[in-house]
Amino acid sequence: MAKKNKAPDEVPEVSEEVVEVEAVEVEAESVEVVDAVEAAVETDGESAPAPAEASESPEDPAEAEDAKPRMELAQLKAVIEALMFASPDPLTPRMLFKLLNDEPKEDVKAALEALKADYAERGGMHIAEVAGGMQITTRPEYHEWVRRLFHERSANKLSVASLETLSVIAYKQPVTAAEIGEIRSVNTSGVLSTLLERHLIKIVGRKNVIGRPFLYGTTKEFLIRFGLNDLSDLPKIEDMAQQLGFEPPPVLMERPVPEEMLPLEEGDVPDDQPE
């Protein structure tokens, strides 16, 4: 007996209204998902740091040096003036360039010349070239007034004998004690000791003769004390003799003949001998 085929299950009918509602719900869920993704992307974009830009190549040291701001002329003049005033010794151009190595040399030179011009128009002070450097000093024409301020320091004044001996050394250097005594006709050993203690003279060598006596010369302190840039600034003996009305000793007028000078040996001079 033949079996009858079973009828397939019947599919329940779904109304169009239900389909439409489900479609709307699916679409709404999709929109919510999209909005959530976009919000997450925006949040990540705000919190995430911006990509670092490629670091610039380091500046060339020479360019960095050139990029340093230069001082104005007025400021540079003021700095030079302060250094010159505070320096215990005449300020040399070499030392000035070293102290102001951040500034171009041409700017330092221009400021220095401008400062000299300013002091040339001032009353009691000027910039003097002393011992190869520069120093702010009082003008020579006001020496008498300044001397009154220091009249109590008479103990530091050089005696006439010391000044005479110092003059001989200044004009005849290098010179021995015997040669100084021959010119002055007196024993100068005590005076030489005083001048050495004052750092106005120094032992520069030994004369290449029997006994190898010491040779004496002036120091940098001598130039500073007497306001000289170098020995060529010394007044000529002939001019002084004419103005003072005396006849200088012939031996003082003779030009020193260059001779072979023996070098100093260890222990010949004290360690604190000045330049």
Token pair of 122, please?
A: 């001032």
Binned at pLDDT 50, 70 and 90, residue 186 comes out as confident
Q: Which of 115, 143, 171 is the last residue of a domain?
A: 143
Binned at pLDDT 50, 70 and 90, residue 239 comes out as confident
* Closest alpha carbon to 76 in 48, 54, 51, 106: 106
CATH number at residue 126: 1.10.10.10
Check if the beta carbon of residue 203 is closer than 8 Å to that of residue 214.
yes
* Per-residue model confidence (pLDDT) at position 60: 55
> DSSP string spanning 53-116?
PPPPPPPPHHHHHHHSPPPPHHHHHHHHHHHHHH-SS-B-HHHHHHHTTTS-HHHHHHHHHHHH
* Per-residue model confidence (pLDDT) at position 187: 81
Query: Is the full-model pTM beyond 0.75?
Result: no
Cis check: omega of the bond before 8, within 30 degrees of 0: no
Residue 108 burial by Cβ neighbours in a 10 Å radius (0-12, 13-18, 19+): buried
209 and 132 in one domain? no
CA distance 259 to 248: 24
Check if the beta carbon of residue 218 is closer than 8 Å to that of residue 173.
yes
Q: Residue 225 falls within a domain, yes or no?
A: yes
CA distance 21 to 17: 6
Q: Residue 24 falls within a domain, yes or no?
A: no
166 and 84 in one domain? no
Residue % of the chain over a pLDDT of 90: 21
CA distance 98 to 87: 14
- Number of domains into which the chain is organized: 2
pLDDT average, residue stretch 48-75: 59
Q: Residue 23 falls within a domain, yes or no?
A: no
CA distance 85 to 217: 29
Binned at pLDDT 50, 70 and 90, residue 245 comes out as low
225 and 179 in one domain? yes
- Poorest-pLDDT segment among 10-14, 28-32, 173-177, 226-230: 10-14
pLDDT in tens, 7-25: 445 545 545 554 454 554 5
Binned at pLDDT 50, 70 and 90, residue 115 comes out as very high
Amino acid identity of residue 55, one-letter, is S
Q: Going by C-beta distance under 8 Å and a sequence separation of 6 or more, which residues neighbour residue 210?
A: none
Whether residue 164 has pLDDT greater than 70: yes
Q: Which of 118, 143, 168 is the last residue of a domain?
A: 143
127 and 184 in one domain? no
Whether residue 208 has pLDDT greater than 80: yes
Which range marks the domain in which residue 252 is found? 158-262
* Per-residue model confidence (pLDDT) at position 54: 44
192 and 101 in one domain? no
* Per-residue model confidence (pLDDT) at position 24: 47
Binned at pLDDT 50, 70 and 90, residue 248 comes out as low
Q: Residue 185 falls within a domain, yes or no?
A: yes
170 and 132 in one domain? no
Q: Going by C-beta distance under 8 Å and a sequence separation of 6 or more, which residues neighbour residue 128?
A: 134, 135, 136, 137, 227
180 and 121 in one domain? no
Q: Residue 43 falls within a domain, yes or no?
A: no
Check if the beta carbon of residue 197 is closer than 8 Å to that of residue 166.
no
162 and 235 in one domain? yes
Token pair of 126, please?
A: 């000027």
Whether residue 109 has pLDDT greater than 70: yes
Token pair of 153, please?
A: 């320091």
Q: Which of 100, 120, 143 is the last residue of a domain?
A: 143
Q: Which of 39-53, 200-214, 243-257 has the highest mean pLDDT?
A: 200-214
Phi, psi of 176 (to 5 degrees): -90, 165
* Per-residue model confidence (pLDDT) at position 240: 73
Q: Residue 32 falls within a domain, yes or no?
A: no
pLDDT in tens, 46-59: 544 544 444 444 45
220 and 190 in one domain? yes
pLDDT in tens, 127-138: 988 888 999 988
Q: Residue 191 falls within a domain, yes or no?
A: yes
Whether residue 78 has pLDDT greater than 90: yes
172 and 221 in one domain? yes
Please, which contacts does 57-62 make with residues 24 or more away whose CB atoms are closer than 8 Å? none
178 and 137 in one domain? no
* Per-residue model confidence (pLDDT) at position 182: 86
CA distance 172 to 253: 9
178 and 118 in one domain? no
**179-216: b (≥16 Cβ within 10 Å) or e:** bbbebbeeebeebbebbbebbbbbbbbbbeeeeeebbb
Binned at pLDDT 50, 70 and 90, residue 43 comes out as low
Q: Residue 92 falls within a domain, yes or no?
A: yes
pLDDT average, residue stretch 144-157: 70
Residue 220 burial by Cβ neighbours in a 10 Å radius (0-12, 13-18, 19+): middle
